[in-house]
Amino acid sequence: MTFNHKSVMLAETIESLQIKPDGIYADGTLGGGGHSYEICRRLTDNGRLIGIDQDKDAIQAATQRLSEFKNRVSIVRENYVNMSSVLKGMGINGVDGILLDLGVSSYQLDTGERGFSYQIEAPLDMRMDDRNPVTAADIVNGYSLQELASIIRNYGEDRFAQNIAKHICAEREKAPVETTTQLAEIIKQAIPMKMRVTGGHPAKRTFQAIRIELNKELTVLRDSIDMMIDMLNPGGRLCIITFHSLEDRIVKDAFRKAENPCTCPPDFPVCVCGKVSKGKVITRKPILPGEEELNDNRRSESAKLRVFERA
């Protein structure tokens, strides 16, 4: 299956990066290489793009897609949380722009055997990096009732978290829960009939929660933003596309803090904490997909783009 993934807010992201033809750029979530292709098109052979992804299918697809730019592209299979050491290992101490397009790709969702989709029968996998020894099945069958309820509540923002966790625990007592459709059916039974009519598929939030927990998505994001801002050259920009409120909140708060890190009480006449601003938030409100894109790509509807510029 080809790595099909429509790059969300492509034009807006490229515009926000303000690409210099001889600049150095890092794409921390390379995917199929859609955003990176447009970056590379705007670079000369003095420019450089470093593409990072932990998914081997993405690496393969992007290598093919970006092959015409091979003189200016380096592709690394790694998690973007390790971007600093990847770049420094290449002798790069600063970049002119960094891009993250978070969440799960269309390819990952549509490739049934990856186990990301609640609509396709497959083993409960959900690993973005198949070198991870833990799968979604380990979480579903191994976490305690309270641990399950907690991740479904916190990462899925599902008010029926406790009931869903109870249903999962009751079912796995009989036999391990092993497939996506099996889990989706258990979740469906845990949600009152009248609530199933609205708000999309009842399993959506729980699948999101398990995927986030398994791949440590929020922890990785939280641990990376300051490091990425520090990697930017003066005037360099960090562009992050998020797909749900949990990610967006982390990005918004981190950008705000990088712009105004002062911890002095508001009534202090002058700052004494000595914390210096790293730059400015370009997007007071997030950039959202336009109407045409929303009509063309349903998966873009929850996307938000935020941009930070290094001082």
Q: Which residues pair with 281 in a beta bridge?
A: 308
Q: What integer best gives the mean pLDDT of the chain?
A: 94
- CB distance 8 to 289 below 8 Å: yes
Global pTM value: 0.94
At residue 3, does pLDDT exceed 70?
no
Position 5 confidence tier, pLDDT thresholds 50, 70, 90: low
Give the three-state DSSP class for 53.
Answer: strand
**Secondary structure element (H or E) that encloses residue 258, with its range:** helix 245-259
Class assignment of domain 10-107+217-310?
A: alpha beta
pLDDT on residue 103: 81
Tokens of 25: 């750029």
pLDDT on residue 87: 98
At residue 1, does pLDDT exceed 60?
no
Q: Which CATH number fits domain 125-215: 1.10.150.170, 1.10.274.10, 3.30.360.10, 2.40.390.10?
A: 1.10.150.170
How far apart (Å, rounded) are the C-alpha atoms in residues 168 and 188?
A: 11
Q: Convert the pLDDT of each residue in 154-189 to its tens digit.
A: 999 999 999 999 999 999 999 999 999 999 999 999
pLDDT on residue 4: 56
pLDDT on residue 105: 82
- Region 112-135 average pLDDT: 95
Q: Which of 2-11, 89-98, 270-279, 282-291 has the lowest mean pLDDT?
A: 2-11
**Proportion of the chain above pLDDT 70, given as a percent:** 98
CB contact set of 137 (below 8 Å; sequence gap of 6+): 123, 124, 125, 176, 177, 178
Q: Convert the pLDDT of each residue in 31-85 to its tens digit.
A: 999 999 999 999 999 999 999 999 999 999 999 999 999 999 999 999 999 999 9
Nearest to 169, CA basis, from 181, 183, 188, 158: 183
Q: Which residues pair with 26 in a beta bridge?
A: 50, 98
pLDDT on residue 56: 94
CB contact set of 64 (below 8 Å; sequence gap of 6+): none
Tokens of 83: 């971007």
At residue 2, does pLDDT exceed 70?
no
- Region 94-122 average pLDDT: 91
Q: Convert the pLDDT of each residue in 180-201 to its tens digit.
A: 999 999 999 999 888 777 767 8
**Secondary structure element (H or E) that encloses residue 236, with its range:** strand 232-242
For the beta carbon of residue 162, count every other beta carbon within 10 angstroms: 17
The full set of domain ranges for the chain reads 10-107+217-310, 125-215
